[in-house]
């Protein structure tokens, strides 16, 4: 059984299906690249996986566990809807990380504070809910955790090549450096699935050219990487599997060779012709 299984995900805005019965699977160690025209539903899909948008129908399973489930009937009922939200939030907090197209770093926080914020909040919540600890023990444990989080962040910043920027602010970073900070922020929570939404779109050509190596450098047997992109060179360089989305539906999926050299559908052939 695949580690990540997405089944029949449907997201409707008003009466418009941004995603319709989207199903795919991915294994740990794989990089899956999503391609498709503007407005085809790629960002909506990443947002649904990360719990930022709630799908009306479908299931998301990780390692055999259902982390999100919704169907039209239960979505209509309030209780079940909040239950869906809860499952989705758990999935978002623990298993999925998203590197936003525009990075979304907090401008008033240093790089180090940006990348450690979520991990500190998570540690604080975990410690506060540990009933067996006294107030003093909780305070001491949190101080220890904070030190571990900071040293882990510095290691990751070094690995991703921006340790020298740790104490600077987002306005002092180049686009490529901001992206690296956003990647470290996502990695800090050690998600099983890390998602990139158009990682080259906000970058100058030189930084964009480095993105493939950056993504390949974080590829590991412990993670699934999902990449949404309009950059076909990036797709060809990093993808183990390519998925073509058109008007909210998956029209074709397969190896880069199958999709780029032996496209089946008229829509994919047209899309690739425009991108050439
Ligand atoms: N919050 C929203 N409210 C209403 N419609 C939305 C919302 N978010 C997305 N949509 C619509 O859903 C469709 C899919 O949008 P989405 O952003 O997922 O496309 P995309 O494939 O990421 O496009 P692009 O390549 O331009 O980034 C679009 O028609 C968009 O207008
Ligand atoms: Mg998008």
| pLDDT tens-digit readout, 75-108 | 544 344 555 555 555 555 578 999 998 899 999 9
Six-digit token string for 164: 């020298």
Q: Closest ligand to 42 CA?
A: 1
Six-digit token string for 275: 């991108």
- Measured in Å, residue 39 CA sits from the centre of ligand 2 at 7
- pTM exceeds cut of 0.75: yes
Six-digit token string for 252: 């074709």
Fold of the domain spanning 104-190: Rossmann fold (3.40.50)
Q: Give which of 27, 43, 47 is closest to 35, Cα–Cα.
A: 43
Query: What percent of the chain has pLDDT above 90?
Result: 78
- How far is it, in rounded angstroms, from Cα 155 to Cα 187? 11
Residue 263 confidence (pLDDT): 94
Contact 47, 99 (CB under 8 A): no
- Measured in Å, residue 197 CA sits from the centre of ligand 2 at 7
Strands (E), 117-268: 193-197, 224-228, 241-246, 249-254
pLDDT at 237 over 90: yes
Residue 57 confidence (pLDDT): 94
Q: Domain coordinates of the chain in residue numbers?
A: 104-190
> What are the pLDDT digits (tens) for 40-68?
999 999 999 998 999 999 999 999 988 88
Strands 16-26, 31-35: pairing is unpaired
101 Cα nearest atom in ligand 1: 27
Which residues is 24 bridged to in the sheet? 6
Residue 76 confidence (pLDDT): 42
- Measured in Å, residue 138 CA sits from the centre of ligand 2 at 42
Q: Closest ligand to 40 CA?
A: 1
- How far is it, in rounded angstroms, from Cα 226 to Cα 97? 10
> What are the pLDDT digits (tens) for 155-207?
999 999 999 999 999 999 999 999 999 999 999 999 999 999 999 988 888 88
Residue 77 confidence (pLDDT): 43
> What are the pLDDT digits (tens) for 118-133?
999 999 998 998 889 8
Q: Whose CA is nearest to atom 7 of ligand 1?
A: 13
Query: What pLDDT band is residue 73 in, cutting at 50, 70 and 90?
Result: low
245 Cα nearest atom in ligand 1: 21
């Amino acid at each position: 059984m695949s580690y990540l299984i997405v089944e029949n995900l449907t997201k409707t805005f008003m009466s418009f299906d941004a995603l319709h019965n989207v199903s795919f699977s991915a294994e740990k160690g794989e990089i899956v690249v999503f391609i498709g025209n503007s407005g085809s539903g790629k960002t909506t899909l990443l947002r649904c996986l990360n719990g930022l948008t709630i799908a009306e129908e479908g299931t998301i399973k990780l390692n055999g566990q259902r982390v999100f489930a919704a169907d039209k009937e239960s979505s209509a009922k309030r209780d079940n809807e909040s239950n869906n939200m809860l499952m989705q939030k758990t999935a978002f907090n623990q298993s999925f990380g998203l590197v936003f197209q525009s990075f979304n770093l907090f401008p008033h926080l240093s790089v180090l504070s940006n990348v450690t914020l979520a991990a500190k909040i998570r540690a604080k919540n975990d410690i506060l809910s540990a009933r067996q600890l006294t107030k003093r023990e909780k305070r001491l444990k949190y101080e220890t955790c904070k030190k571990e989080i900071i040293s882990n962040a510095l290691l990751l910043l070094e690995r991703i090549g921006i340790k020298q920027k740790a104490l600077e602010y987002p306005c002092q970073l180049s686009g490529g450096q901001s992206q690296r900070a956003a990647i470290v922020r996502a990695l800090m929570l050690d998600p099983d699935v890390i998602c990139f939404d158009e990682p080259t779109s906000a970058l100058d050509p030189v930084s964009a050219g480095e993105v493939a190596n950056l993504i390949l450098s974080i590829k590991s047997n412990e993670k699934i990487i999902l990449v949404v992109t309009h950059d076909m060179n990036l797709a060809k360089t990093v993808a183990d599997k390519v998925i073509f989305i058109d008007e909210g539906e998956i029209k074709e999926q397969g190896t880069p060779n199958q999709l780029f050299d032996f496209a089946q559908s008229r829509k994919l052939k047209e899309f690739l012709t425009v991108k050439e």
